[in-house]
Chains A and B, each alone.
Chain A
Amino acid sequence: ILNVEQSPQSLHVQEGDSTNFTCSFPSSNFYALHWYRWETAKSPEALFVMTLNGDEKKKGRISATLNTKEGYSYLYIKGSQPEDSATYLCAFWEDSNYQLIWGAGTKLIIKP
Chain B
Amino acid sequence: DGGITQSPKYLFRKEGQNVTLSCEQNLNHDAMYWYRQDPGQGLRLIYYSQIVNDFQKGDIAEGYSVSREKKESFPLTVTSAQKNPTAFYLCASSMGLENEKLFFGSGTQLSVL
Q: How many chain B residues touch the partner (CB < 8 A)? A: 23
Does the CB pair B4–A43 fall under 8 Å? yes
- Nearest chain B CB to A76 CB, angstrom units: 19
| A71 close to B (CB within 8 Å) | no
| A89 close to B (CB within 8 Å) | yes
Q: CB within 8 A of B42: which of A43, A51, A103?
A: A103
29 contacts between A and B (CB under 8 A): A4-B42, A31-B99, A32-B98, A32-B99, A34-B101, A34-B102, A36-B102, A42-B106, A43-B4, A43-B90, A43-B103, A45-B104, A46-B102, A49-B99, A49-B100, A89-B42, A91-B42, A91-B43, A98-B97, A99-B45, A99-B48, A99-B59, A100-B45, A101-B42, A102-B35, A102-B42, A102-B43, A103-B42, A104-B40
Closest 10 CB pairs of A and B: A102-B42, A46-B101, A32-B99, A43-B104, A102-B43, A44-B104, A104-B42, A43-B106, A49-B101, A103-B42
